[in-house]
Amino acid sequence: MLSDIDKRLSELERTETDQDAAFARKERSQAGEEIARAEDEQELAQEQAARKHKVLICHATGSASNPYVEIEIAKAGLNGHAGHAGDIIPAPADGCPTTAGAGAVADAETHDARGRIPLPGGPLDATLSTNKPSAQVGETVREELTAANRGTTPVRDIELCGAIPAGFSLVSAPGARLVDGAPCRTIARLDPASVATLAVRLRLTGRVRGATHARVGLLLRVGSRHAVRPHLDLRVTGAASAISISPQFTG
């Protein structure tokens, strides 16, 4: 009789121990969920607070076929865009115009090239445009390079580079670093519906002997596997010099 009672007591103790362990696991799980929710709410609050200090603008690309890209910039940086001819600040509620005004088209006379990298979360588009279709020796050419996330998930580890054609020298590329002689911008993360840009100014210092066009291009790379290289031909005129044509990108 006593042995049966002891056995029953042992079973009850084991049951209580199992129940306590299950309750403790449930408590830890709930605490983890609460921490995750709190972190999400904090991140959302931080993003909303950051957006209060940002504004959407329509940045003029100088392209007749793709005249504007919508970008989000800090309000403190608006002065840097105030002098950009053609920028619309802030962007209209219904989005940026899809056609440029006659003055902008006449001023730009641009042509552009486009490429696309298919990704699991949606495509990453690349656009290259110049502010003129031709250049004479001594003239500068403005390039506008863009990477646009058309997908639904962030894209990480992006490298946006502009080629320097033979016969040209680099004048400026704000925010870029040189990689194998090409100005490049590294974007750690590009959120959906966001655009990253790289502005490059080149000067034609000497036309390649026997060449009437220079190939202007960009390299858009995601990680180490995905790359696209849209390019366009720029007509060059002026005194020829003995310059050999070299590859646009290495590696």
More confident call, 58 vs 246: 58
Rg (CA), the chain: 28
Would you state the pLDDT for residue 213?
85
114 with 212, same domain: the answer is yes
* Whether the predicted pLDDT of 250 surpasses 50: no
DSSP conformation letters of 107-151: HH--EEEEEEE--TT--EEEEEEES-SEEETT-EEEEEEEEEE-S
Instruction: Please tell me the predicted confidence (pLDDT) of residue 156.
Output: 94
Report the alpha-carbon distance of residue 217 to residue 162 in Å, rounded.
Answer: 6
Q: Which of 16-30, 64-78, 210-224 reaches the highest mean pLDDT? A: 210-224
Residue 104 lies in a domain: yes
The answer as to whether 20 is a domain residue is no
**Judgement on whether residues 59 and 182 belong to the same structural domain of the protein:** no
DSSP strand pairing (134-136 vs 231-237): parallel
12 found inside a domain: no
In this prediction, residue 237 has a pLDDT band, given cuts at 50, 70 and 90, of confident
Residue 11 lies in a domain: no
- The 10 Å CB-count burial string (b at 16+, else e) for 105-119 is bebbebbbbbbebeb
What integer is the mean pLDDT of 136-141?
A: 90
Query: What pLDDT score does 248 carry?
Result: 38
Would you state the pLDDT for residue 11?
Answer: 67
Residue 220 within a domain: yes
Domain containing residue 92: 50-108
Over the stretch 95-134, which tens digit does the pLDDT of each residue have? 777 765 533 433 334 467 888 898 988 889 889 988 888 8
Last residue of a domain, one of 92, 108, 124: 108
Q: How far is CA 170 from CA 50, 113, 182, 211, in A?
A: 35, 20, 9, 20
Per the structure, how many domains does the chain have? 2
CA neighbor of 56 nearest in space, from 42, 72, 40, 44? 72
Shared domain check, 201 and 143: yes
- The last residue of a domain, from among 108, 130, 156: 108
- 131 and 64 in one domain? no
Q: Is the pLDDT of residue 8 over 70?
A: no
> Do 93 and 114 share a domain, yes or no?
no
Asked whether residue 101 is assigned to any structural domain, the reply reads yes
- Whole-angstrom distance, CA of residue 213 vs CA of residue 167: 11
Do 197 and 226 lie in one domain? The reply is yes
Write the pLDDT tens digit of every residue in 58-96: 777 766 667 777 777 776 655 555 455 567 777 776 677
* pLDDT attached to residue 168: 93
Instruction: Please report whether residue 2 resides in a domain.
Output: no
Of the listed ranges 62-66, 141-145, 164-168, 176-180, the least confidently predicted one is: 62-66
| Domain identity same for 120 and 244 | yes
- Which residue, of 79, 108, 137, is where some domain finishes? 108
Q: What pLDDT does residue 210 have?
A: 72
For residue 88, which of 67, 116, 109, 111 has the smallest C-alpha distance?
67
Q: Do residues 125 and 87 both lie within one domain?
A: no
Q: Which residue's entry shows tokens 């962030």?
A: 154
Q: Would the pLDDT of 246 be above 50?
A: no
Residue 196: per-residue pLDDT = 93
Same domain assignment for residues 156 and 142: yes
| 118, 135: one domain | yes
Peptide bond connecting 183 to the previous residue in cis, omega within 30 degrees of 0: no
Per-residue confidence (pLDDT) for residue 201, from 0 to 100: 94
Cα 240 to Cα 244: distance, rounded to the nearest angstrom: 11
Same domain for 77 and 130, yes or no, is no
- The residue among 168, 102, 114 whose CA lies nearest residue 146 is 114
The SS3 of residue 16 is helix
Domain assignment present for residue 207? The answer is yes
pLDDT score of 220: 92
> Do residues 102 and 118 both lie within one domain?
no
Residue 102 is predicted with a pLDDT of: 39
CATH of the domain at 143: 2.60.40.10
Per-residue pLDDT, 140: 92
pLDDT at 15: 66
